[in-house]
Amino acid sequence: MQQITIRRPDDWHLHLRDGAMLAAVAPETARYFGRAIIMPNLIPPVVKSSDASAYRDRILAALPEGSDFQPLMTLYLTEDSDPADVKRAKEEGLIHAVKLYPAGATTNSASGVTNFDKVRGVLETMAEIGLPLCVHGEVVDHDVDIFDREAEFIDRVLDPLRRSTPGLRVIMEHITTKEGADYARSGGDDLGATITTHHLVINRNAILVGGIKPHYYCLPVAKREEHRLALRAAAISGDPSFFLGTDSAPHLDHLKENACGCAGCFTASNTMSILAEVFEQEGALDKLEGFTSLHGPKFYGLEPNAAEMTLVKGDPVIYPDKIDTPEGPVTVFDPMMPLHWRVA
Ligand SMILES: NC(=O)N[C@@H](CC(=O)O)C(=O)O
Ligand SMILES: [Zn+2]
Ligand SMILES: [Zn+2]
């Protein structure tokens, strides 16, 4: 029997939603992960520190009895965000990051930023107090092809923004391209990048070959195979710039299997089994712990979890293909390969 033991992992990019969906999906993450950075793109979004505090209470109330899972809260950056409120929330230990959505880039991003001059004050405050900015890095310009939107964002928005705000710590969320990985690697200690589980597994063919497959549609959309390989190389490299952010993003099946299907893959239930399989395929099981459990806390200035997780290799793992909610099912990401690593 083959097994590995690693520090308990964290998820540095997670959507838990609210209400019945929160109650259904929170246990899936809390079962495996010690902490998670909680994305603030609710409707209405988590903009003020009081919103984050109330949302944190609702998450804690949704956890299974006895769970020690810690939600790490974020604020949603709007053009009206108040630097003083952001600073207070960080000083109180309530928030660990602020999230930037370019307006219109993704699910529930309508309240995001269009005019970057209007968020200058908040970004400067964040640079002063060392509060990281999590970035959904895609331009929204209609003249830019959807497969090029991440690479364009680096040149048009991210690099100028970082140059004009020295000291700002940035996490490029859910990178999907070779350009994203190269830029993250070149950025020094103030720049990191999360990589999702699903972008290590699928390329764009998964969405489009043999019929349209809405459960593989997420944003940023999966790219060509060369980009998936670049993400795999980054994830297994041992470079602390790269860490796990699953971007597990539950949507009801009927809203994905739809003429205008929502973006998001739900991977909370099988992420660790998938990652162990991927790292084993790459001959890099020894790099799994860094990616899932060490590099993220280091970037965020936190200690790794004290607890450990053991993964055991054996017969193909059985996991649910759907999670039930009172409003309907949510499909669990199908990695299209058997998974042999079970969390003990
Ligand atoms: N990744 C996605 O495809 N969807 C996310 C939003 C996001 O992280 O961009 C969601 O909230 O559903
Ligand atoms: Zn995003
Ligand atoms: Zn996300």
Q: Please choose from 247, 253, 267 the residue to mutate so as to test ligand 1's pocket, defined by most ligand atoms within 8 A of CB.
A: 247
pLDDT one-digit tens code per residue, 79-90: 999 999 999 999
pLDDT digits (tens, 9 = 90+) for 99-133: 999 999 998 999 999 999 999 999 999 999 999 99
Question: Each residue of 249-277: pLDDT tens digit?
Answer: 999 999 999 999 999 999 999 999 999 99
258 CA to centre of ligand 1 in angstroms: 17
CA–centroid distance, 25 to ligand 3, in Å, is: 15
174 among the known binding-site residues?
A: yes
Residues 101 and 82: their CA atoms lie apart, in Å, by: 16
CA dist 250 and 263 (Å) reads 9
Q: Please answer whether residues 72 and 35 qualify as being in contact, where contact means their C-beta atoms are separated by less than 8 angstroms.
A: yes
Give Cβ neighbours of residue 253 (< 8 Å, ≥ 6 apart). 322, 328, 329, 330, 331
Across the chain, what does the average pLDDT equal? 98
Bridge partners, residue 323, by sequence = 330
Q: Is 263 annotated as a binding residue?
A: yes
What's the one-letter identity of residue 27? P
ipTM reported for the complex surpasses 0.85: yes
Atom of ligand 1 nearest to the CA of 13: 8
Q: Which ligand is nearest to the CA of 137?
A: 2
Q: Which ligand has an atom closest to residue 217 CA?
A: 1
Buried b (16+ CB within 10 A) or exposed e, 161-189: bbeebeebbbbbbbbbbbbbbebbeebee
Task: Give the whole-angstrom CA distance, residue 146 versus residue 255.
Answer: 21
Residues 6+ apart with CB under 8 A from 110: 103, 104
User: How would residue 317 be classed by pLDDT, with cut points 50, 70 and 90?
Assistant: very high
pLDDT (0 to 100) of residue 334: 98
Helices 83-91, 120-129: inter-axial angle, 10-degree rounding: 20
How far from each other are the two terminal CA atoms of the chain, in whole angstroms?
13
For every residue of 76-128, DSSP letters joined together read E--TT--HHHHHHHHHTT-EEEEEE-BTTSSTT-TTSBS-GGGGHHHHHHHHH
Q: How far is the CA of 5 from the centre of ligand 2 (A)?
A: 31
Q: Which fold has domain 3-343?
A: TIM Barrel (3.20.20)
Q: What is the pLDDT averaged over residues 4-14?
A: 99
Strand partners, 5: 310
User: What pLDDT, on a 0 to 100 scale, did the predictor assign at position 329?
Assistant: 98
- pLDDT in the model for residue 151: 98
Q: Is the pLDDT of residue 1 over 90?
A: no
Cα separation, 39 vs 71, whole angstroms: 10
Please give the number of the atom of ligand 1 that sits closest to the Cα of 136.
9
How far apart are the C-alpha atoms of 206 and 322, rounded to whole Å? 19
Is a pLDDT exceeding 70 seen at residue 194?
A: yes
- Cβ < 5 A residues, ion ligand 2: 106, 136
Residues whose beta carbon lies within 6 Å of some atom of ligand 1: 15, 41, 106-108, 136, 218-219, 247, 249, 263-264
Among the bound ligands, the one closest to the CA of 100: 2
Give strand ranges (E) for the chain.
3-7, 11-14, 35-38, 70-76, 95-100, 133-135, 170-172, 191-195, 242-244, 308-313, 322-325, 328-331, 341-343
Which residue puts its alpha carbon closest to atom 8 of ligand 1? 247
Annotation-wise, does 340 bind a ligand? no
- Mean pLDDT for 15-30 is 98
Residue whose Cα lies nearest atom 6 of ligand 1: it is: 107
- Residues forming a β-bridge with 131: none
Residue 228 annotated as part of some ligand binding site? no
CA of residue 103 to ligand 3 center, whole Å: 14
Residues labelled as active-site residues: 247
Which residues are found with C-beta within 5 Å of the ion, ligand 3? 247
CA of 92 to the centre of ligand 2 (A): 26
| Domain extent listing, the chain | 3-343
Helix axis angle, 49-62 relative to 83-91, nearest 10°? 40
Q: Using 50, 70 and 90 to split pLDDT, how confident is the model at 28? A: very high
User: Tell me: the pLDDT tens digits for 37-92?
Assistant: 999 999 999 999 999 999 999 999 999 999 999 999 999 999 999 999 999 999 99
Q: Is residue 219 part of an annotated ligand binding site?
A: yes
Q: What counts of helices (H) and strands (E) characterise the chain?
A: 13, 13
Beta bridge partners of 232: none
pLDDT tens, residue by residue, 147-193: 999 999 999 999 999 999 999 999 999 999 999 999 999 999 999 99
**pLDDT > 90 fraction of the chain, expressed in percent and rounded:** 99
* Integer Cα distance of 301 and 318 in angstroms: 36
What pLDDT, on a 0 to 100 scale, did the predictor assign at position 224? 98
